[in-house]
Amino acid sequence: MNFPSDRPATWFVTGTSRGLGLEMVVQLLERGDNVAATTRSAQRLTDALASHSVDTANLLVLEVDLRDQHAVDAAVAQTSERFSSLDVVVNNAGYGFLAAVEETSERAVRDMLDVQVVGVWNVLRATLPRLRAGGGGHIVNVSSVLGLVSIPGWGLYCAGKYALEGLSESLAGEVAGHGITVTIVEPGYFRTDFLSASLTLPEQTTDAYPTIRDMVATHLEMPGSQLGDPAKGAREIISNVVEGGTELRQILGSDSHAYATGKVASLTATLVATQDSAPRTDFAQA
């Protein structure tokens, strides 16, 4: 996209009351941009912003359940009415879930996918026509390194992020001709309250997975020691958009980079090992 230079850009950002989303709102307002910030709790976002010396004149706070298409449509319409433009869409809302696959209830699966996948789809359906009408834009889908790498105990979260990765890859090819750029952001562990306030645990567990119980305990003790600085993470995301970054993926954090590098090495080894056996299922060439 050609980032606007003659007016403030308008950003529609979901999941803004904590972590990377909150940092993005603060930094965007400091830039003088327009921000439509969605949250499940407007009061929580307002309280969080009160601790920052930032002018909120260009802020539109929208209390939205992203699972509700009508509510999302209304929020996007309010954004256009308030700012008369839409340039960047950031799908950041989400939460964590730690449990073995066997311990994950049907309700937990539906709730996670409703937020991580259906919610994003609702936002895309509401914003894409406006971006196309405006001649372009930038969509940022905040995934995770766990959208590339799977770890025991994170199965449900990985399922949602893997789905987001696939959706985003397809979307990037579909909208490129309309001047719309898509970026998938893959953060590692950031020093936010994601592993506390944004983490869900199963209602029931079994003693069949002691290593997962140990892993959960380790993660609950992790807040305050994560490598990632959320202020720096938000700055990198914003800079990538403003500078017209076109790479499909943006890796954030040395831990994320290490995990992704390991996944690529493992996949490469598999491709080398199967290069002779893979063609065996092809029809014989005449």
Residues catalogued as catalytic: 143, 157, 161
Phi-psi region of 6 (alpha: psi -120 to 50; beta: other; left: phi over 0): alpha
Burial of 13 (0-12, 13-18, 19+ CB in 10 A): buried
* CA–CA gap between residue 224 and residue 227 (Å, rounded): 9
Burial of 229 (0-12, 13-18, 19+ CB in 10 A): middle
Burial of 271 (0-12, 13-18, 19+ CB in 10 A): exposed
> Residue 147: what are its φ and ψ, rounded to 5°?
-90, -10
Look at the block and give the residue holding tokens 């309700």.
107
Distance (Å) of CA 105 to CA 80, 99, 111: 39, 10, 10
* CA–CA gap between residue 284 and residue 175 (Å, rounded): 38
**CB-based contacts of 267, cutoff 8 Å, min separation 6:** none
Distance (Å) of CA 115 to CA 64, 140, 208, 263: 12, 16, 29, 26
**CB-based contacts of 204, cutoff 8 Å, min separation 6:** 103, 105
